[in-house]
């Protein structure tokens, strides 16, 4: 664009009149404001990316533990576990206890083995006499080295000097005995779903899983710390552990970690460690006073393995990719695997593109090449009308109208999908058998209008056919047959339904760009090939299509990118079940829908919040790649066209 940089100063110099000087000043001010505005926008765009990166980044850094003075710790020291509550019988030396709002449980080493009791709260009062507890049976003379009651008051672990351990349910008679040599201590996870056995220089993690209706402990991992472990404690939320070894340092571990996520140097070795709250640890040395550290839960709170590798979570029978941020029930492990979300996003976008591709590109080919310009000017806006429906409307209508009867309509929809192309092909063949067909080509440009009635009939026929097949072959319910024969459940909200809605929503994106690309090919090029004796279709396929191809690819990329970022349709139709098996008729959960649902509830700067920002960054990266690829293809298209003209 032409600009005249000499213009403004000339006026100011030649005509030094007051009014002109004012005009000059205004001009300078305008220049400044325009520059500032464009700079602001640039800053906003760069800042946007930066904001996403900076919010997610601390996740992958190792945390910097802050040392706290005893006066600045968040919890009053008196709130810590009191020395011994008055409901625990006085006569025992070695006793452990645990309480909730409604229950109190104590277990003690008596003169003739273990004893224990439970108190249940009545109204506002507590009874004075405790009920008896189921206590593991162990040989007399067993010397007990450690006791621990799970935070849910369900389970007791007893360790003996011999290396045997007993796990006893405190609710019923379920119990289990095992042996781990040279163990020192044992700790339940807060939810009582896994047990950590502390040994001399290593610790074992055992998960409680249900086998044949009984809970059994299954050894999961044994981790060698290669230093003697002096103390071990799990955080109240169950996400992290702190370890004291004979080295002068504390180690903080993630629950599924293979190595410490952070190490805190000490002056001397600590002998006792513990958690004040979810984020504050304390340690006491032999002759040093107790010290406190704040360990940021979001910084390094999730490892790359947590995000992308299979993990064996407590309560699971195998290692899985699972997305389950902080669960409703406390004490569950937070599960931050991004794989199910990524798979959900890509699968639904892929299926949607697959669904929209034949329809949109087919329509683009006909509208761009075969249709008369007059009809084209009416048909194109009609197809682009789809873009005027907000996606929330598409999602809502299909969620309420189609989703509840999707399982019964499955075969009817399939019938229509099969019937339309085959029917059109048959009609075309029939028409061409008639000798008149080859004498005229004039009907071609009006063909879509002529096919309107035929298509309506074909859809009806397809639906009827689907119904007939369903009642005749599949006993009246295809969905039930699918489940009984192949074990494929058809859920109300599923990936196929998402693909239908999403495919519908991206038709205009695909169609518009592809049609533009085809229509932009000069008519003279095709006319030349027709004059040389090519048929219409040959002329399109061999001359126009190669030229428009980059544009069509760009359209597909753009459509796929849009499908990846679409939120409302996924939110309403996908069922939002974070699965990664890729089953077609089960729910999916996409990154975009997860962001919309979970981010408002995630507390600022928590690990969950940062993982969500990382997911947003991932989604941004995916769409960025596809959009950039589309831009490159578009540029190629322009170059190609320029070379022809």
Q: Which stretch binds another protein (CB under 8 A): 49-57, 144-152, 236-244, 476-484?
A: 49-57
Contacts by 215-220, CB closer than 8 A, 24 or more apart? 215/169, 215/174, 216/176, 217/167, 217/176, 217/178, 220/194, 220/312
When the beta carbons of 80 and 397 are compared against another protein, the nearer one is 397
Out of 17, 41, 80, 211, the residue judged to bind another protein by CB under 8 A? 41
Three-state helix/strand/coil letters over 556-593:
HHHHHHHHHHCCHHHHHHCECCCCCCCCCCCCECCHHH
Task: Compute the distance between CA of residue 93 and CA of residue 531 in angstroms, rounded to an integer.
Answer: 106
When the beta carbons of 141 and 435 are compared against another protein, the nearer one is 435
Do 123 and 136 touch, CB atoms closer than 8 A?
Answer: no
**Does 347 participate in binding another protein (rule CB under 8 A)?**
no
**Does 439 participate in binding another protein (rule CB under 8 A)?**
yes
Out of 266, 424, 464, 465, the residue judged to bind another protein by CB under 8 A? 424
Do 510 and 556 touch, CB atoms closer than 8 A?
Answer: yes
Question: Which strands make up the sheet holding 103-110, listed edge to edge?
Answer: 95-99, 103-110, 113-120, 131-132
Q: Could you tell me the smallest distance in angstroms from the CB atom of residue 442 to another protein?
A: 13
With CA atoms as reference, report the closest residue to 118 among 109, 105, 108, 100. 105
**Does 401 participate in binding another protein (rule CB under 8 A)?**
yes
Out of 81, 211, 374, 624, the residue judged to bind another protein by CB under 8 A? 624
With CA atoms as reference, report the closest residue to 399 among 164, 587, 119, 124. 587
Task: Compute the distance between CA of residue 560 and CA of residue 502 in angstroms, rounded to an integer.
Answer: 10
Site for another protein in 320-339 (CB under 8 A): none
Do 232 and 196 touch, CB atoms closer than 8 A?
Answer: yes
Q: Strand, coil or helix: what is 122?
A: strand
Q: Strand, coil or helix: what is 251?
A: strand
Out of 164, 176, 620, 641, the residue judged to bind another protein by CB under 8 A? 620
Q: Which stretch binds another protein (CB under 8 A): 96-104, 267-275, 476-484, 615-623?
A: 615-623
**Does 465 participate in binding another protein (rule CB under 8 A)?**
no
**Does 396 participate in binding another protein (rule CB under 8 A)?**
yes
**Does 18 participate in binding another protein (rule CB under 8 A)?**
no
Q: Strand, coil or helix: what is 74?
A: coil
Q: Which stretch binds another protein (CB under 8 A): 228-236, 326-334, 435-443, 474-482?
A: 435-443
**Does 47 participate in binding another protein (rule CB under 8 A)?**
yes
Site for another protein in 360-379 (CB under 8 A): 360-363, 365-367, 370-371, 379
Task: Compute the distance between CA of residue 281 and CA of residue 339 in angstroms, rounded to an integer.
Answer: 32
Site for another protein in 62-121 (CB under 8 A): none
Out of 98, 237, 407, 566, the residue judged to bind another protein by CB under 8 A? 566
Q: Could you tell me the smallest distance in angstroms from the CB atom of residue 296 to another protein?
A: 17
When the beta carbons of 58 and 238 are compared against another protein, the nearer one is 58
Out of 425, 457, 527, 644, the residue judged to bind another protein by CB under 8 A? 425
Out of 444, 473, 484, 644, the residue judged to bind another protein by CB under 8 A? 444
Site for another protein in 119-148 (CB under 8 A): none
Question: Which strands make up the sheet holding 183-188, listed edge to edge?
Answer: 183-188, 194-199, 202-211, 214-224
- What are the residues whose beta carbons fall under 8 Å from the beta carbon of 574, sequence distance 6 or more? 344, 348, 493, 494, 495, 498, 587, 588, 589, 590, 593
Using the CB atoms, write b or e for 582-595: b if 16+ within 10 Å: ebebbbbbbbbbbb
With CA atoms as reference, report the closest residue to 588 among 496, 483, 482. 496
Do 610 and 298 touch, CB atoms closer than 8 A?
Answer: yes
Task: Compute the distance between CA of residue 215 and CA of residue 193 in angstroms, rounded to an integer.
Answer: 10
When the beta carbons of 334 and 571 are compared against another protein, the nearer one is 571
Structure tokens at 488: 């494929």
With CA atoms as reference, report the closest residue to 144 among 174, 176, 115, 118. 115
Out of 16, 17, 21, 51, the residue judged to bind another protein by CB under 8 A? 51
**Does 32 participate in binding another protein (rule CB under 8 A)?**
no
Q: Which stretch binds another protein (CB under 8 A): 102-110, 160-168, 221-229, 380-388?
A: 380-388
Out of 350, 389, 474, 483, the residue judged to bind another protein by CB under 8 A? 389
Q: How far apart are the first and last CA of the chain?
A: 24
**Does 604 participate in binding another protein (rule CB under 8 A)?**
yes
Q: Could you tell me the smallest distance in angstroms from the CB atom of residue 338 to another protein?
A: 15
Q: Could you tell me the smallest distance in angstroms from the CB atom of residue 536 to another protein?
A: 6
Site for another protein in 514-553 (CB under 8 A): 533, 535-538, 541
With CA atoms as reference, report the closest residue to 105 among 77, 126, 76. 126
**Does 571 participate in binding another protein (rule CB under 8 A)?**
yes
**Does 391 participate in binding another protein (rule CB under 8 A)?**
yes
**Does 42 participate in binding another protein (rule CB under 8 A)?**
yes
With CA atoms as reference, report the closest residue to 274 among 258, 262, 290. 290
Q: Which stretch binds another protein (CB under 8 A): 80-88, 236-244, 289-297, 357-365?
A: 357-365
Out of 174, 227, 448, 461, the residue judged to bind another protein by CB under 8 A? 448
**Does 456 participate in binding another protein (rule CB under 8 A)?**
yes
Q: Could you tell me the smallest distance in angstroms from the CB atom of residue 418 to another protein?
A: 13
Out of 386, 413, 525, 583, the residue judged to bind another protein by CB under 8 A? 386
Site for another protein in 150-189 (CB under 8 A): none
Task: Compute the distance between CA of residue 484 and CA of residue 473 in angstroms, rounded to an integer.
Answer: 14
- What are the residues whose beta carbons fall under 8 Å from the beta carbon of 366, sequence distance 6 or more? 447, 448
Do 282 and 274 touch, CB atoms closer than 8 A?
Answer: yes
**Does 57 participate in binding another protein (rule CB under 8 A)?**
no
**Does 564 participate in binding another protein (rule CB under 8 A)?**
yes
When the beta carbons of 33 and 162 are compared against another protein, the nearer one is 33
Do 99 and 105 touch, CB atoms closer than 8 A?
Answer: yes
Q: Could you tell me the smallest distance in angstroms from the CB atom of residue 334 to another protein?
A: 20
Q: What is the size of the binding site for another protein (CB under 8 A)?
A: 114
Structure tokens at 298: 């979001």
Out of 355, 383, 556, 607, the residue judged to bind another protein by CB under 8 A? 383
When the beta carbons of 23 and 218 are compared against another protein, the nearer one is 23
Q: Could you tell me the smallest distance in angstroms from the CB atom of residue 473 to another protein?
A: 27
Out of 283, 394, 513, 553, the residue judged to bind another protein by CB under 8 A? 394
Give the 3-state secondary structure percentages of the chain, helix then strand then coil, rounded to 5: 50, 20, 30
Site for another protein in 479-518 (CB under 8 A): 504, 507, 511
């Amino acid at each position: 664009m032409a600009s005249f940089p000499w213009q403004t100063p000339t006026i100011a110099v030649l005509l030094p009149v007051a009014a002109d000087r004012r005009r000059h000043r205004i001009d300078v001010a305008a220049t400044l404001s325009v520059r500032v505005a464009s700079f602001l926008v640039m800053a906003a765009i760069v800042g946007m990316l930066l904001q996403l990166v900076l919010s997610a980044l601390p996740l992958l850094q190792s945390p910097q533990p802050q040392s706290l003075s005893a006066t600045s710790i968040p919890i009053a020291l008196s709130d810590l576990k009191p020395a011994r509550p008055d409901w625990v019988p006085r006569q025992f030396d070695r006793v452990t206890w645990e309480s909730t709002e409604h229950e109190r449980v104590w277990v003690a080493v008596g003169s003739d083995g273990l004893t224990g009791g439970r108190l249940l709260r009545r109204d506002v009062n507590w009874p004075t006499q405790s009920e008896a507890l189921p206590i593991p049976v162990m040989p007399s003379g067993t010397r007990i080295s450690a006791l621990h009651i799970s935070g849910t008051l369900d389970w007791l672990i007893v360790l003996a000097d011999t290396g045997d351990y007993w796990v006893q349910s405190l609710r019923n008679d379920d119990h289990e005995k095992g042996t781990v040599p040279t163990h020192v201590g044992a700790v339940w996870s807060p939810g009582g779903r896994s047990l950590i056995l502390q040994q001399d220089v290593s610790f074992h993690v055992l998960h409680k899983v249900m086998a044949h209706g009984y809970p059994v402990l299954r050894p999961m991992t044994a981790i060698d710390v290669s230093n003697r472990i002096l103390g071990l404690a799990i955080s109240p939320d169950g996400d992290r552990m702190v370890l004291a070894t004979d080295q002068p340092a504390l180690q903080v571990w993630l629950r599924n970690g293979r190595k410490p996520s952070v190490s805190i140097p000490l002056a001397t070795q600590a002998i006792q460690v513990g958690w004040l709250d979810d984020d504050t640890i304390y340690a006491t040395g032999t002759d040093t006073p107790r010290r406190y550290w704040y360990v940021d839960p979001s910084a390094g709170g999730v490892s790359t393995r947590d995000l992308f590798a299979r993990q064996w979570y407590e309560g699971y029978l195998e290692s899985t990719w699972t997305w389950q941020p902080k669960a409703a029930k406390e004490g569950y492990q937070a599960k931050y695997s991004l794989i199910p979300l990524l798979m959900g996003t890509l699968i639904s976008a892929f299926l949607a593109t697959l669904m929209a591709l034949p329809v949109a590109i087919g329509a683009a080919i006909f509208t761009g090449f075969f249709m008369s310009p007059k009809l084209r000017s009416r048909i194109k806006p009609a197809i682009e009308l789809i873009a005027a429906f907000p996606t929330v409307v598409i999602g809502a209508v299909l969620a309420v109208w189609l989703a509840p009867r999707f399982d019964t309509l499955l075969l009817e929809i399939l019938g229509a999908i099969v019937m339309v192309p085959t029917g059109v092909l048959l009609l075309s063949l029939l028409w061409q058998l008639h000798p008149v067909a080859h004498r005229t080509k004039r009907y071609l440009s009006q063909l879509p209008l002529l096919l309107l009635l035929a298509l309506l009939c074909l859809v009806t026929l397809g639906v009827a056919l689907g119904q007939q097949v369903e009642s005749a072959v599949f006993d009246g319910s295809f969905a039930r047959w699918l489940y009984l024969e192949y074990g494929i459940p058809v859920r109300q909200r599923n990936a196929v339904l998402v693909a239908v809605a999403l495919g519908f929503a991206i038709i205009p994106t695909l169609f518009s760009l592809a049609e533009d690309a085809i229509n932009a090919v000069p008519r003279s090029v095709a006319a030349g090939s027709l004059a040389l004796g090519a048929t219409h279709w040959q002329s399109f396929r061999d001359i126009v299509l190669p030229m428009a191809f980059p544009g069509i690819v760009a359209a597909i990329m753009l459509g796929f990118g849009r499908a990846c970022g679409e939120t409302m349709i996924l939110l309403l139709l996908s069922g939002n079940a974070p699965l990664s098996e890729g089953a077609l008729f089960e729910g999916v959960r996409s990154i975009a829908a997860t962001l919309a649902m979970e981010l408002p509830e995630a507390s600022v700067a928590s690990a969950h919040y940062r993982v969500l920002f990382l997911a947003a960054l991932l989604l941004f990266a995916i769409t960025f790649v596809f959009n950039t690829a589309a831009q490159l293809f578009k540029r190629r298209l322009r170059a190609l066209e320029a070379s022809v003209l």
